[in-house]
Structure formats: C-alpha cells, structure tokens
Copies of this chain bind each other. A is one copy, B any other.
C-alpha cells in the first residue's frame, strides 16, 4: 500500500520552517509496510489545499493531512478535504461540549471561532485529542470510486504523535495485510563513505530483499537495513544475517549495532569497567564534554574537564609546562600528550582525554594547517596520541575531532 503526506501551513513555505512531522509518520508507515510516494507542502489557501487533496486521493491509497485543524481563519483543512471529497461538514455536539468544558476548566469563556473545531466531515470518525483542542478525523471506504484511508491530524508534533499512535496505528493495522518489518542500524567511524560502500556493496547487493540505506556525516556513517516478511522472525533474521556479515567485513569500525550514539557507547563501556573519564580540550572548545554530558546519568562516569583555550589555562588546569608549549606549539603531539596526562592526574580519573588542533577559519599555517588535530588518551598503561588532518569548515572539524577522541576511548575499552 502507498501513501501521500500533506503538510499544511504557510509557515512551511517560508525559508525559516520545515515540516518534520513527515519523518516520524514515514517511519511509522514504513513499519506497517506502507510506502510514502509523495509529500506535498501547501499553504493556508482553501483553493490550493482542495486541489492538493483531490489529487492526493486520486494518486495514493492512504492520505494523511497534518495541520490546519485549529480555530483560526487560516485553519482550512476540514473545509478543503470536505470540498475535495464532495462531502458535507456537520457540527458534532459532543465535540462542542468537550470544547466548552476544556475552556471552563481553565475558567475561560470560549470564543465562538473555536466552534469550527467541532466540524466533522460526513462519515468520518472523530479522533479525540488528549493534548490539544482540535480533534483528528479518520475516514476509510470508497472515495471517488477507490478504496481509500484518509486521516486528518493536528500539526503540533506532540499532539500529532500521541494521536497517531493511540488512535491510528491499530486502525491502520486492521486495514492492512499482515506484514512484518525487520530493521537494524549500524554506525561506523573511521571510514569514508565511498571506502565503506566499496567494501560492503558486494555484500549487501546479495541481499536483494533487504533495503540498505547509507547516510554519511562527519566521521560517522549510518547504515539502515530493512526487510519485510510474513513473520517478524523471518524479516529480522535476514537483516541480522546481513548486519553480521557487514560487521565481519568492517570489524571494529562498526561502533554501534542498535542505533546508540558514540557518546552513549563510550558511557556504557566506562560504566562496565567501573572507570571514569576527564577531558582537556582546546579546539573542540567544550564540544567533547558537551557530547559526553548530553547523555543522562553521565555524572556516573564523567568527572568533568577543562576547556583550555588559552595557553595559560593549559598550564593552570592541565599542568602543561609553558616551555613545552613554547618549544612545540600548542598544537602538537607533545602538548596533546601532556594535556591528557595532566587532566588525568588533576582529576583523579581513570582516563584523561585531550584534543588540540586548528579548527579555523584562521590560525592555520604551512606547518600547522587548518584541520590538523592531535588527540591523546592517557591511562595507567601509558598515553597514545593520534594525529589527524580533517577536511571541512570549523564546525565539521570540531565534530570530526570530538568523534576521533571518543573513538579512542571506545577502542581502548572494547
């Protein structure tokens, strides 16, 4: 079965805002075996919205409208969909009562424009909205002579998600042939996209029944594997088998096989080993600590660190001798090593991790170009230093450098 998703709202046609609800809906629909074949974004114009609705009902089996269900003059989805289907709107007394109660509970008097939220397309089932005033609507049956499912959902993401999960999923499942989706997500670091694809394409191409999607970011490749079958076991065993073969080929470049982030993985390993971590970072400027502490509960293994942006702080917080900086420069293997060892000693952590480099756009030289970064990891067993030259702009270089630093901890603890 296939679907069209229509996002409604003039703000979605400005340079500032983007529909993101459709990513969520696509995931849910895909899991049910429904393929999204069109996404349409249309403004708050009754005529254009009616046209888009007619077209969608003619070309897709499931049509989902998002937004335009509120109380204002701009909210025209109910009217436009009714027009497109040639159906009437009727005011639902139960919704009117519930709207009145909603306002009364807050001690407010309801403005009359709210009443339009009680208008229901003839034949539609009302989907109560626990998180907002505008209910959704569900229709299924023959429209324009074709079997269709038509759903109207509110635009605010938390309303849309709750309503879809609680009231649409089961209804959709009942309408669809039973189908099961197996899926896996692998994350890979330390490999370029084309180098990665070159190695794994001969493997995943043999699995014609598994859909493989490759997404690349700064030093992180995501591989999404998906397979459909008539039982969950059958579907999952195919993606698991392929995932295993890809992991065999790529070895420890695969850092996650369940979608977890690098910072989560590093956290798991540290907790497992009862170890703690402290960081001293220069060019990443706090990003490394920020990524580690973005994980809830990270205080169990992360003691903290120092953002030693100035040379003086490299000495004050990480005990880097001023002469060492003088001699080798702040961006050097020697200073990276001293930073990692110094922050480990000062913090008492099991591991000391450091980053120093040139993030740009200025500050580069022939010897030390923009993108040159040194990373060091100090432990009981000594200190290892990794030198890398990253491509891209300041933001990308900082992201690459934080990923490389975290990956050193992962590899150490693996």
Chain A interfacial positions (CB closer than 8 Å to B) = 11-18, 20, 23-24, 26-27, 30, 35-43, 45, 48, 51-52, 55, 59, 213, 215, 222, 224, 278-279, 284-294, 296-299, 302-310, 312-313, 316-317, 346-348, 360-363, 394-395, 398
B303 contacts A395, C-beta separation under 8 Å:
no
Q: How far is the CA of A290 from the CA of B45 in the complex (A)?
A: 43
Which of B15, B37, B285, B289 is A43 in contact with, Cβ under 8 Å? B37
The smallest beta-carbon distance between A159 and chain B, in angstroms, is: 17
Interface secondary structure of A, over-half rule: mixed
B312 contacts A303, C-beta separation under 8 Å:
yes
Please name all residues of chain B whose beta carbon is closer than 8 Å to the beta carbon of A317 when the two chains form the complex: 304, 306, 317, 346
Known: A30-B15, A48-B38, A222-B16. A309 touches B316 (CB 8 A): no
A215 contacts B310, C-beta separation under 8 Å:
no
Known: A55-B55, A285-B289. A23 touches B15 (CB 8 A): yes
Q: How far is the CA of A352 from the CA of B222 in the complex (A)?
A: 40
B11 contacts A15, C-beta separation under 8 Å:
no
Which of B23, B52, B302, B363 is A309 in contact with, Cβ under 8 Å? B302
Stoichiometry, as copies per complex, reads 2
B307 contacts A362, C-beta separation under 8 Å:
no
Please name all residues of chain B whose beta carbon is closer than 8 Å to the beta carbon of A52 when the two chains form the complex: 38
Please name all residues of chain B whose beta carbon is closer than 8 Å to the beta carbon of A289 when the two chains form the complex: 285-286, 289-290, 307, 309
For this complex, 19 residue pairs linking A to B, each with C-beta atoms less than 8 Å apart, are A11-B213, A13-B35, A14-B224, A16-B213, A18-B18, A37-B48, A51-B59, A284-B290, A285-B290, A285-B292, A285-B294, A285-B302, A289-B307, A296-B362, A299-B310, A304-B307, A304-B308, A306-B307, A317-B346
Please name all residues of chain B whose beta carbon is closer than 8 Å to the beta carbon of A12 when the two chains form the complex: 39
Which of B48, B213, B361 is A296 in contact with, Cβ under 8 Å? B361
A307 contacts B285, C-beta separation under 8 Å:
no
Known: A313-B304, A313-B347, A362-B297. A40 touches B40 (CB 8 A): yes
The smallest beta-carbon distance between A231 and chain B, in angstroms, is: 23
The smallest beta-carbon distance between A181 and chain B, in angstroms, is: 12
A26 contacts B14, C-beta separation under 8 Å:
yes
Known: A43-B37, A287-B290. A309 touches B313 (CB 8 A): no
Please name all residues of chain B whose beta carbon is closer than 8 Å to the beta carbon of A16 when the two chains form the complex: 23, 213, 215, 222, 224
* Chain B: CB-nearest residue to A394: B296
B309 contacts A303, C-beta separation under 8 Å:
yes
A288 contacts B285, C-beta separation under 8 Å:
no
Please name all residues of chain B whose beta carbon is closer than 8 Å to the beta carbon of A18 when the two chains form the complex: 18, 20, 23
The smallest beta-carbon distance between A360 and chain B, in angstroms, is: 7
Q: How far is the CA of A294 from the CA of B288 in the complex (A)?
A: 13
Please name all residues of chain B whose beta carbon is closer than 8 Å to the beta carbon of A290 when the two chains form the complex: 284-287, 289-290
Which of B11, B296, B302, B306 is A306 in contact with, Cβ under 8 Å? B306
B55 contacts A26, C-beta separation under 8 Å:
no
